Structure 1
Amino acid sequence: MTALPVHPVIKPNLLKALCLWLLLSLLSACEQRSAAWHIEGMQGTALWHVTLTAPPPDLNEAALKDGLAKTFSKTNQLLATWDQTSVLSQFNRYQGTDWFPVEPALAQLVDLTLKISKQSEGAYDVTVGPLIRLWGFGSHESEKAQIPTQTDIDTALARVGYQKLQVRFDPPSIRKSQADVQVELASVADGFAADQAGLYLESLGIRDYMVEIAGEVRARGLSPRGDAWRIAIEKPQEEGRAIQQGISLQDAGLATSGDYRNFFVKEGKRYSHTVNPVSGAPVTHNLASVSVLADDATQADAYATLLMALGEEKGKTFADNYNIHAYFIWRVHDGFKVYATKGMQSLLKK
C-alpha cells in the first residue's frame, strides 16, 4: 500500500485469509448451498476462495479449479518481486531507460496506479519499494525490521517518485527515467488477482460469483440467497478475530488496508508497515483500517492503501471529495471510532 503494504504479491498470510473466510462464512451461513460451488486452493502459501451461485451444467469443477490456479499463478509471474523471474522483477533489474515491453494487463495496472499517484499528489506511489525494504518491511526473509539513519532514508528517497515512471499501450510498455527506479505493486496485487480470476470466470459464461484472496473481494451478480453478497469487515484488533461490520456487495470490489498485523516496536515506539513516500518514514496516525468499495477489486485495493497512508482526517476528506465509498476505523483511548462515507452508509448491514 504506498505507502505500500508489505507483502509478497499474493499475500502469504494463510491465517489471515483463512480467518477472513470463516468470517465470510458466518455472514452467509443461511445461504442456499445445494446448487452453489465453493472452491478453494493455494498459490504458494496464499489461500483463495471462489463461490459460484449456479454453475453451468456442463462445467467441470476440477477443470475450473485448475484454470483458477493458473490465473493466480499468472499474477505472480507478472508482479511478484520476490520471484526473480517475474516480469516486474526483470523490469526492476533493468538498468536502462528505454521502453520495456509488458503484457497489456500490466500496462493497464501501471496506468491506474500512476493516475491515483497523481490524484493523491504522491501520497500513493508504487516506486516506494526502496523505502519499504530500508525499514525492513519487504517480502524477503533477509529483510529485518529496523530504524534506518536519515542519510539512508535520503538515499532511498532519491530513487522514489511516480513521475519517474511512464506507461504506453501501443505497444504495451513501461519505462523509467532513472535507471535505479523500482516498481512494487503489492498494494494492488491481491485486488488485481481477484479481478483476473473474475474475468476468467466471466469468459466461461459465469455471471454470479465471488472471488476472495487475502481479504480482497470481487463479487458479481447474486449470491446463493438470490440477493447481494454479504461480506465481513474485520475488527482491527491484534489478538483474535471478530466481525466489525457487515456489508452488502454486488457488482463491485472490496479491499481493506490495515496496520494491525504488520508493524514492529522499537524502544516502545510502534512503527507501521505503511511508509510515507514523501517523508520516507512510517506513517504516524491512529487509523487502524480502512475498507473501500469500488467498481473492481484493483481500484478498491489501491484506494484503501492510499487512504491508509493519509490517516483518518486527511483520508476522510479525500474520500468525501472524490466520492470514494470508504469505511474508516481508528483508535481512540477506549477502543475504536468509525466513519462511513455517504456512499458506503447504505451498504452497511445492521
Structure 2
Amino acid sequence: MGSRYSLKYVVEPGGPGRAQLQQVLEAILAEVDGQMSTYRGDSWVARFNALPAGACAAMSVPVQELVGFGTRLSDDSGGAFDLTVEPLMNLWGFGPQSRGERVPGTVEIEQVRRLVGHQHLRVDGAQLCKDAAVQLDFDSIAAGYTVDRVAAQLEALGLRSYLLDITGELKVRGRKPDGSSWRVAIETPREDRLEAERVLELDGYGVSTSGDYRKYFTADGRRYSHTFDPRSGAPVEHDLASVTVVDGSALRADGLSTLLMVLGAQRGLAFAEERGIAALFIRRQAEGFQAQASTAFHALPTAR
C-alpha cells in the first residue's frame, strides 16, 4: 500500500506470538495489494482499468464487496463519492499515472469526466463490466476494508485487546493491561506541528480521517486539494480542512470520511446528522481552525 502499519496488543495466555501475528497480518496486506493497488501493473484493478469499454472481468469476493459498498455511497450522496475518479486525479497530477501537478483547462476536464461515474459500471453475477473506459481506484476505502479484515482475523486468533493502524486507518478493541482505555488523538490539521483537537477513549470502533492538508499544490495563489468532487471534475473548494468519522466498521468510516470531505462542512454535517454518523469537521478559518461535531460524535467518550 506504499505506507506503514502498526499493531499494539495485549498478550493473551496461550495466544498467538508476534511472528504468527505478523505473518497473518502481512498475508492479508499482500492479498489486498495484489488485488487493489493502482501502483502495480499486475494487480486485478490495474488489469481491469486497462480493459476497453464493453469488457468484463471476474471479481473476487473482496472486490465485489468494495464495488457494492462504493456504489451505495455514490447513490446515497448523489455522486459525491465515486470509485472511478482516477482519470481526474491523473489529469490534475495526483494519481498513479499523473505527469505532474497542473491546472487543466475546461475542455480537458469535460473530456475526462466522460470516463468518470458509477453509472458506467455493471455487475453481472461475479463479473464487473464497464460500458465506458472507466478506471477504478479503491484508495478511498481499501485501507478501511483491510483494517476490518485484519481485526477479524486477530480476534479469531484470540486477541481481545489491540490498537491496529494501517495507513492511518484505525481499529480499537478492549483495554490496556492496566485496565485503562485505548486513546486515539484526532489531529488539528496543521502543517507546522502536531496538535490534538480531541482525544477519544474507544473500544470496538474504527476511526478514519480525511483531509486536504497533506496532499495539495498551489498555483496562481490558489490551493488545489487531492480531494475531488466527481460532479465538477475538480478539487473541492471549501473551508473544510479535515473530517474524522468513528464507526464500528473501519470500511464504513473510511468511505464516509471521504464522502463528507467532498460535501463540505455544512452539507456534510447535515448528511451525518440525518444518518446518525459520528463525525468531527474541522474548518479552516482566518483566525485558525473551528471544530464542529455531529450529535453522534458528541456522544463518544473523550479523555479527561
Q: TM-score range by the shorter chain?
A: over 0.9
Q: Establish whether residue 136 from structure 1 lines up as the match of residue 90 from structure 2.
A: no
Structure 2 residue matching 1:308: 3-state secondary structure: helix
Partner residue of 1:156? Answer: 112
TM-score (norm 2): 0.94
Amino acid corresponding to residue 118 of structure 1 in structure 2: D
- Which of 65, 79, 83 lines up with 1:122 in the alignment? 79
Q: Give the whole-Å Cα distance in 2 for the aligned partners of 1:295 and 1:163.
A: 29
SS of equivalent residue, structure 1 residue 145:
coil
Matches within 5 A, 1:244-263: 244-263=197-216
Runs of at least 5 residues in structure 1 that lack an aligned partner in the other structure: 1-9, 13-45
* 1:173 partnered with 2:130: no
**What residue number does 1:313 align with?**
266
Question: How far apart are the structure 1 equivalents of 2:128 and 2:74?
Answer: 16
CA, structure 1 residues 200+143, in 2 after alignment: closer, same or farther (shift >3 Å)?
farther
Q: How far apart are residue 228 of structure 1 and its match?
A: 3.8
Q: Is residue 2:64 matched to residue 1:64?
A: no
Query: Structure 1: how far apart are the matches of 2:30 and 2:193?
Result: 30
How far, CA to CA, are the matches of 1:69 and 1:59 in structure 2?
Answer: 15
Normalising by structure 1, we get a TM-score of: 0.82
Structure 2 residue identity aligned to 1:274: T
Give the aligned partner of residue 90 of structure 1.
47
SS at match of 1:257: strand
Tell me the CA shift for residue 163 of structure 1: 1.4
Q: Cα deviation per residue 1:241-277 (whole Å; 9 max; x = unaligned)?
A: 1212111222121100000011000111111111110
Partner of 2:283: 330
What's the CA shift for 1:58? 4.6
- Per the alignment, in what secondary structure is the counterpart of residue 349 of structure 1? coil
Q: For residues 55 and 85 of structure 1, do their structure 2 counterparts lie closer, same or farther at Cα, with a shift above 3 Å needed?
A: farther
- What residue in structure 2 maps to residue 238 of structure 1? 191
| Residue in structure 2 matched with residue 187 of structure 1 by the alignment | 140
Q: Judge which range, 83-92 or 48-57, deviates more.
A: 48-57
**1:28 alignment counterpart:** none
The share of aligned pairs that are identical, in percent, is 35
Match of 1:101 among 55, 58, 83: 58
Q: 1:228·1:249 contact (CA, 8 Å) conserved in 2?
A: yes
| Amino acid of the structure 2 residue aligned with 1:144 | G
In 2, Cα distance between equivalents of 1:132 and 1:229: 36
Distance, in Å, in 2 between the alignment partners of 1:181 and 1:218 is 32
Amino acid at match of 1:148: P
Give SS of 2:4's match: strand
- Helix, strand or coil at the partner of 1:186: coil
How far apart in 2 are the matches of 1:143 and 1:251? 42
Aligned to 1:29: none
In the alignment, the residues of structure 1 paired with residue 33 and residue 22 of structure 2 have an alpha-carbon distance, to the nearest angstrom, of 17
Q: How far is 1:314 from its partner?
A: 0.9
What amino acid maps onto 1:188 in structure 2? I
With over 3 angstroms needed to count, the CA separation of the structure-2 counterparts of 1:114 and 1:332, relative to structure 1, is same
Give the number of equivalent residue pairs: 303
CA distance, structure 1, for counterparts of residue 233 and residue 72 of structure 2: 21
Tell me the residue number matched to 1:146: 102
Q: Which residue of 1 aligns with 2:10?
A: 53
SS at match of 1:329: strand
Q: Helix, strand or coil for the counterpart of 1:146?
A: coil
Query: Shift in Å at residue 98 of structure 1?
Result: 4.6
Which residue identity does 1:349 align to in structure 2? Answer: A
Q: Secondary structure at the match of 1:153?
A: helix
What's the offset of the Cα at 1:55? 3.0
Q: 1:218 to 1:166 in 2, by over 3 A?
A: farther
Q: Could you tell me how far apart the structure 2 residues matched to 1:96 and 1:148 are?
A: 24
Mapped to 2, the partners of 1:262 and 1:156 lie a distance apart of 21
Deviation at 1:53, TM superposition (A): 2.0
Cα offset, 1:220, TM superposition:
2.5
Aligned to 2:140, what secondary structure does the other structure show? helix
2:207 aligned counterpart, secondary structure:
strand
Q: Which shifted more, 239-248 or 149-158? A: 239-248
- Partners in 1 of 2:240 and 2:203 — Cα distance? 27
Which stretch of structure 1 is more off in the superposition, 202-211 or 220-229?
220-229
1:139 Cα deviation after fit: 3.0
Matched with 1:20 is none
TM-superposition CA deviations, 1:118-157 (whole Å, max 9, x none) = 00010001111111110001135x5311010111101110
Mapped to 2, the partners of 1:206 and 1:270 lie a distance apart of 44
> Retained in 2: the 8 A contact 1:125–1:161?
yes
Per-residue CA deviation, residues 210-232 of structure 1 (Å, 9 max, x unaligned), is: 21022110122334343542111
Report deviation, 1:103: 1.3
Confirm or deny: 8 A CA contact 1:71 1:200 kept in the other structure: no
